[in-house]
Chain A
Amino acid sequence: MTPSDLDQALNTLRNQIAGGPSIVPAVARRIADGEPSQNPVNMSAPLLRRTADNHRQQQRRRLMRITISSAIAACLLAIAGLLWLTRSDRTASAAEALQQTLSTTQGYRGWVRIKVEMQLDGVTSLYDITMNTENGQMGVVSRIGNGWRMLHWYDPSTGMCDLYSDVDEHVLHGEASGVPLTLRFARLFAPMTQSSALELLGYLMSAEHLEVKQTPEAGLVRFDVSSPPNPNSTRIVPLHAELWVDPKSDRVVKLQWNYQKDVTGDTSVSISYGVEPITSIFDLGVPKRAIVVTTKMTPEARELVTKLTHLMQATPKNYVGMVARVNAQTPGDRSLVIWGRAGDSWFVRRYPLPPQWPQAEEVIRALAGKPSNVEFGDAQWAGEGTWNAATNDYRVEKVPARPMGTYNPYERNITHAMYVMERDLLDYGPETTFSVVEDASHPGFKGLVLKTLDTPNSRNTTCTWWLDPKQEFAPAEMVWASDQWPALPPDSGPRAAGIATRPASWRHASRIIVYHQFGKLKDGTPYPTSWTDSGTDYQAQILEDKKLDDAWFKP
């Protein structure tokens, strides 16, 4: 064998048994997560001496370099100090400085790791998010209480998602309806703006009596944000939040806050920038021995899902619609919800239902200027309905405008109420399998069956949509059933207790929606005008190109 042959053979062997991606990210993550329990700094005395000797040698070698560079560093420090002073003079307030910092943070592009620890009512939830704010790739490791660890990997470029849990060491690989949203989530730096955390900070930032204090702390800049409690508010908001900013990058590196009212506990977030990229779910710590199970749709199922999704999103750019709801079994359980959309602006308002089934034009005339009890809108405001359990009273608490980028955009459309856009129906992930069936009791119809596999945090459900090929595949019936709650770890603590107290009717639930009549939009897309959802009757109307006064789109 020639040296060249040997070199080639070694190269082949290397590719066969030692190729593939590096394990450095996985090892780094495990160590950062506290593995192993024994810390390396727990050293014996001789080793400590050797380490100290090593460090002394390294310091001697570096001394010359440090001496030379220290003069430059001193100059830089002086310049930085001047800049800081200049900036302080220029900055009108600590609040404005914080706004600028939040904007800089949100503008960062690259790999970011965000670790969130939430303690609420004695239960600790951990979320470890590593995301690329450029392309939306995102890995999430989560654990609620002592429950199973869940790992997600989202890749917007393929629309695929991987899901792993410690329950059975399976990686589920399949489509997920929410994957495209991760790109938007990442670009908005969503944990900084959208999670309950800083969305509420945004609320505080716009509050009338907000106080922002800025002080140096251990090489960082600390911002204390506080707002006096609002005795009339029924919303849960933090009264105090602290942020620490790296003055070199002007980006937030850590924040924490605590809640008011009857929710106890703190939340803390740490953010690292320019972290090791993640390329697959295995980089998040999934063992390579894990079994990969694909749940990708068949072409036939994909076609039906596409058609159904189209129906659920198909609303005109400009319209006014209403859905009236009557629950005959519960007196007083009647409501009327009005949707309005004019280009990018939209609103949803809910009112008591008049005694008779209303006509849209009459309702609009009658309700103009009247207060609603729940309202939402985009572009200008986002109201939020609250419910007082003691008085059974719904009312609106106005919330200043805030980004709504990661909210499901379908929820802004009236079709959300018609097709009940919920996770169990067509908000699917890799834990969902799809199949197409036919049944003699539904002659001429196509059945699209969505079934969720075991996952730690969801019920096992089966949902069947019976679609009518003669009506643009509009659904004639939807049957949903939940059969059981999957296994929980033995020491799940409060979470297990909470689940155990759920009524059997929750764990073994079913829901049947029968669509009676359909109308058509101008482009021929059908939409339901009458349906029954598990005993509650609904009627709907859509007025295309109907434009309401601007007042309807404002709080």
Chain B
Amino acid sequence: VTADGELVSLAMAGDAMAFGQLVGRHERSLRAVAFYVIRDIHLAEDVVQDSFVAAYGQLAGLRNPSAFGAWMVQIVRRQAQAAIGHRIHTVPLDQASEVPAIGTSLDVDSERLLAAMMSLSEDERLVLMLRHFDGHEVTAIARMTSAHVGTVTKRLSRAHAHLRERLKECRL
């Protein structure tokens, strides 16, 4: 597994495949971030797509290439906030019955879990989402984020503990 920082360097040197790898490894985490802001699955996906395209043009502004994941979270949040103002779209009356419903709501448990996840620290949330949303192994996450395996394991363990605590608080 190539580190995020190395892929960023390759992308800046014009290697589009390297950027594609970055998109693939972070896209699902970022969809969750976008959804938390915008509450629309399809718009969230558009936002993430737009964010990656925008980020590709702004790679030069990334001071620490190893922090690509955290940097993308900031971009996605900004793009999602901006998209909220443009989310209303109209449907011709005669076609209204043909328009499929857009799923924007989660069940109560998922809502609580998402809120708890977003309240974690940046480091904990990043490893948690890379593990559970993007499906990467701990060793791979360590390589991506240029951290030690032990550090990632600790962060993941703390993230799980914090999540359980916050979910317990919600139920009380």
Q: Which of A89-97, A291-299, A372-380, A547-555 contacts B (4 or more CB under 8 A)?
A: A291-299
Complex contact A14–B57 (CB within 8 A)? no
Complex contact B168–A17 (CB within 8 A)? no
Complex contact B164–A1 (CB within 8 A)? yes
A-B contact count (CB 8 A): 147
**Cα distance A18–B25 when bound, in Å?**
13
Q: A26-B49, A27-B20 are in contact. Are A37 and B12 (CB under 8 A)?
A: no
**Cα distance A35–B55 when bound, in Å?**
10
Complex contact B109–A14 (CB within 8 A)? no
Complex contact A40–B11 (CB within 8 A)? yes
Complex contact A36–B41 (CB within 8 A)? no
Q: Which of A44-52, A323-331, A349-357 contacts B (4 or more CB under 8 A)?
A: A44-52
User: Nearest CB to that of B89 among chain A residues?
Assistant: A289
**Cα distance A13–B106 when bound, in Å?**
8
User: Nearest CB to that of B109 among chain A residues?
Assistant: A9
User: Nearest CB to that of A10 among chain B residues?
Assistant: B132
Complex contact A23–B49 (CB within 8 A)? yes
Interface size class of B (residues with CB under 8 A): 35 or more
Q: Is A42 an interface residue (CB 8 A)?
A: yes
Q: A13-B32, A31-B19 are in contact. Are A6 and B164 (CB under 8 A)?
A: yes
The interface bits of chain B over 127-165 (1 if a CB of A lies within 8 angstroms of the residue's CB, else 0) are: 010001100000000000000000000000000100110
Q: Is A440 an interface residue (CB 8 A)?
A: no
Q: Is A68 an interface residue (CB 8 A)?
A: no
Interface size class of A (residues with CB under 8 A): 35 or more
**Cα distance A167–B160 when bound, in Å?**
47
Complex contact A291–B106 (CB within 8 A)? no
Provide the residues of chain A in CB contact with B5, threshold 8 Å.
Answer: 54
Q: A6-B163, A27-B20 are in contact. Are A17 and B114 (CB under 8 A)?
A: yes
**Cα distance A293–B40 when bound, in Å?**
19
Q: Is B77 an interface residue (CB 8 A)?
A: no
**Cα distance A31–B19 when bound, in Å?**
10
Complex contact B11–A289 (CB within 8 A)? no
Provide the residues of chain A in CB contact with B29, threshold 8 Å.
Answer: 18
Complex contact A43–B164 (CB within 8 A)? no
**Cα distance A543–B111 when bound, in Å?**
74
**Cα distance A203–B130 when bound, in Å?**
56
B contact set with A: CB distance below 8 Å = 5-6, 9, 11-14, 16, 19-20, 23-24, 27-29, 31-32, 35, 40-46, 48-49, 52-54, 56-60, 62-63, 65, 87, 89, 91, 95, 98-100, 106, 109-110, 113-114, 117, 128, 132-133, 160, 163-164, 167-168
A contact set with B: CB distance below 8 Å = 1, 3, 6-7, 9-14, 16-18, 20, 22-24, 26-28, 30-32, 35-44, 47, 50-51, 54-55, 58, 169-170, 287-289, 291-294
**Would you list 30 pairs from A and B whose C-beta atoms are within 8 A, ordered by A residue?**
A1-B168, A6-B163, A9-B110, A10-B128, A11-B132, A14-B132, A17-B35, A18-B32, A22-B27, A23-B23, A24-B23, A24-B24, A26-B49, A28-B16, A31-B56, A36-B56, A36-B58, A37-B57, A40-B59, A41-B13, A41-B14, A41-B60, A47-B62, A50-B9, A54-B65, A288-B43, A288-B49, A291-B91, A291-B95, A292-B99
6 smallest CB-CB distances across A and B, nearest first, come from A36-B57, A38-B57, A288-B42, A18-B28, A43-B60, A18-B31
